[in-house]
Structure 1
Amino acid sequence: MRRADRLFQIIQALRRARQPVTADQLAAELETSKRTIYRDIADLMGQRVPVRGEAGIGYVLDAGFDLPPLMLTPDEIEAAVLGAQWVARRADPALAKAAEDLIAKIAASVPERLRPYVLEPVSGAPPAWKAVPDALDMPMLRTQIRNGRKIAMSYRDEQGRESQRKVWPITIGYHDTVRLLIAWCELRNDFRHFRTDRIVTTEFLEERYPERPAVLRSKWRQSLEKMHAAKC
């Protein structure tokens, strides 16, 4: 690996990490020696890249640092285009259009030599089956999740029984033909998954729920892991 590429990969590794990254971890990921990592980190610091390190703990990249836009590798372009293709074929119309716009922006912004990775990718998302239409405003739902606000709704289950719910929406699950609203349900006092096509009426409330959406998403994932472990 060229030195310039290695320095770039070190920055990328630090950017995506939530905890300090050790020299051992960086050396293993980049398939090089710790001595080389120490030298590269010193070079980055010399170039005023805001890397901080502490012996025995690891390195972190200060918040706010960024590279010039769209300095993407071919694999990163393939990953971005593949993900955008999947969203464009399965998400609600507003998000699907945003995914198509993203692909167009990547194609217009990358150097000419990398454009085939966008326009003629070797990976592709399969076509989606015809999706069941959503019964609520999906862009508004995403806004409600970002703001941590509650939703009052009438929901019809698979047997056709209707119930009134007040929920704390935390994320949306996308499947081939249906979408799921994952939320904390005040009626059941637990996490529940609601098919968006079975929501009869919706009222987007101004009332905030007491925990941040990210915290609730973490608790939801933990609950899924416990359910999976109990079944094994």
Structure 2
Amino acid sequence: MRRADRLFQIVQIIRGRRLSTAQFLAERLEVSERTVYRDIAELMTQGVPIEGEAGVGYRMRSGFDLPPLMFTHEEAQALVASVRIAQPRLDATLAAQAENALSKILAVLPAAARAAAETLAVYAPPIEFDPATRLRLEPLRLAAEGRRKVRLSYLDLKDVASERTVRPLGCFYWGAVWTLAAWCEVREEFRNFRIDRIRELDVLGSFRDEPGKTLPDFFRQAEVSAAAHRSAHPKPN
């Protein structure tokens, strides 16, 4: 990759994230962290309003923007593939917004890039979601984004009913079912709830993130559990 292209990619990555570490940038661009530090310094010298420092991370100062982007044929195809695969699996509102966004992108592409994108030979057939899952996915997603507690009437896989008040953290799709990752205030620990097993839900008041109860904490715990499982069940040589 030419340095000019790499500098452009760094700007795109940083402007699309809240915080990007040098390690993350180096891994994405397949260069050393030292190269990233030099590139960041060059961009700042050129007047790009990047804030942050080595060892902490970088972000773009609010208000900075670039001219409209032009996509390569492959990038346009990747966008079409992403929407086609994701759309049947999303809640109705998000699926419609994905279609709107893709239409806007295709409308401004050069003719050749648009033709390559629209004729992409990758398709995702419709899938039959339990209607209750599709109905509940959106309010759970919005509750997680808005930091709102949710009261659940839940039926586990053993058909044991329970009432839970949870702090929703994110909705996860596993290829067959959607689950809600949450901090359960009844169990005082992280829990995963199959959305198709939720019988009723009520969105409650807001909550603030607390140490040990956030989505990054959930991911860290999952990594520790996975590592412990691998250690206890090593693959045969």
- Please report the TM-score for the alignment, with normalisation by the length of structure 1: 0.77
126-135 or 93-102: bigger deviation: 126-135
Work out the number of aligned pairs and report it. Answer: 223
Amino acid of the structure 2 residue aligned with 1:198: R
CA distance in 2, matches of 1:45, 1:106: 32
Give the share of equivalent positions with the same residue, in percent. Answer: 33
Deviation at 1:169, TM superposition (A): 0.6
Task: Show structure 2 runs of 5+ residues with no match.
Answer: 231-237
CA distance in 1, matches of 2:225, 2:40: 44
> What pairs with 1:152-163 in structure 2 (closer than 5 Å)?
152-163=151-162
CA distance in 2, matches of 1:15, 1:165: 38
Query: Are the counterparts in 1 of residues 181 and 193 from structure 2 also a CA contact under 8 Å?
Result: yes
- Matched residue, 1:5: 5
Residue 27 of structure 2 corresponds to residue 29 of structure 1 = no
Deviation at 1:21, TM superposition (A): 3.2
> What pairs with 1:94-133 in structure 2 (closer than 5 Å)?
94-121=93-120, 124=122, 126-127=124-125, 129-133=127-131
Go from structure 1 to structure 2 and tell me whether the alpha carbon gap of 1:44 and 1:109 turns closer, same or farther (over 3 Å shift): farther
CA distance in 2, matches of 1:106, 1:216: 34
- Please report the TM-score for the alignment, with normalisation by the length of structure 2: 0.75
Deviation at 1:152, TM superposition (A): 0.8
Secondary structure class of the residue paired with 2:214: helix
- Matched residue, 2:189: 190
Secondary structure class of the residue paired with 1:164: strand
CA distance in 1, matches of 2:3, 2:111: 23
Deviation at 1:211, TM superposition (A): 1.1
- Matched residue, 2:214: 216
Deviation at 1:165, TM superposition (A): 0.8
| Relative contact order higher in (CA < 8 Å, ≥ 6 apart) | 1
Secondary structure class of the residue paired with 1:194: strand
Amino acid of the structure 2 residue aligned with 1:106: I
- Matched residue, 2:75: 76
Deviation at 1:131, TM superposition (A): 2.2
Deviation at 1:157, TM superposition (A): 1.4
56-65 or 142-151: bigger deviation: 56-65
CA distance in 1, matches of 2:196, 2:140: 13
CA distance in 1, matches of 2:223, 2:40: 39
